[in-house]
Chain A
């Protein structure tokens, strides 16, 4: 089944403790992206990647890092999480760089930073 897999689904952590949210897609998509979803706001892009070793900042990149060492994986790294990073995170991928035909989203990771 074609899908984007994120792990973990739920995570509670403490301020300052480094964490990684993994994302993997099995569709051979070139384009991958991370979004956060907060009440009252639309999805906001954190980082995106056009291909292996090619990443760029989205609208809200502060406090996050990403890497794209393999085509299928695009982990999101929070080096020193803070409470304002408590959110619902989605990884997405697309065959087209322009997103034509829509993105395939993962099921989400609910992160709480206390």
Chain B
């Protein structure tokens, strides 16, 4: 299937454990952020988003944390399941523009 890249950082997690995937964003003027999940052979899929006026947002089994001071975003996945195996990447929207900057991603491998 389509590979998003052979040189991505990889996070290996035991099934049932929590996963934390990190993203350093580039532009201090970015005010909206999205995490996407990309499974092998598929297009990216929206997971969760957060605005810059928030530090934390929770979804179903996922939490996004935003630290504007150090321009850092993290995605926490609780009770990681085999179906969570994918590449995860963040996207930042530069305030006042329609432009998004996409990260290169992290490959999550869930070990049975």
Q: Which A residues form the contact surface with B (CB < 8 A)?
A: 4, 31, 35, 37-45, 48, 88, 90, 92, 97-108, 110
Q: Which B residues form the contact surface with A (CB < 8 A)?
A: 2-7, 32, 34, 36, 41-46, 49, 89, 91, 93, 98-105
Closest 3 CB pairs of A and B: A102-B46, A105-B43, A42-B102
Given contacts A40-B5, A88-B4, A107-B41, contact A102 B34 (CB under 8 A): yes
- Shortest C-beta distance, B97 to chain A (Å), equals 9
With A and B bound together, what is the CA distance between A31 and B4 in angstroms?
24
With A and B bound together, what is the CA distance between A35 and B38 in angstroms?
14
Given contacts A37-B4, A101-B49, contact A43 B44 (CB under 8 A): yes
Count of A-B contacts judged by CB separation below 8 Å: 64
Residues of A within 8 A of B7 (CB): 39-40
Do B105 and A90 touch (CB < 8 A)? no
With A and B bound together, what is the CA distance between A107 and B45 in angstroms?
10
With A and B bound together, what is the CA distance between A38 and B8 in angstroms?
12
With A and B bound together, what is the CA distance between A5 and B81 in angstroms?
28
Given contacts A48-B98, A98-B93, A110-B2, contact A90 B44 (CB under 8 A): yes
- Shortest C-beta distance, B59 to chain A (Å), equals 12
Do B6 and A103 touch (CB < 8 A)? no
Across the two chains, which residue of chain B brings its CB closest to A96? B98
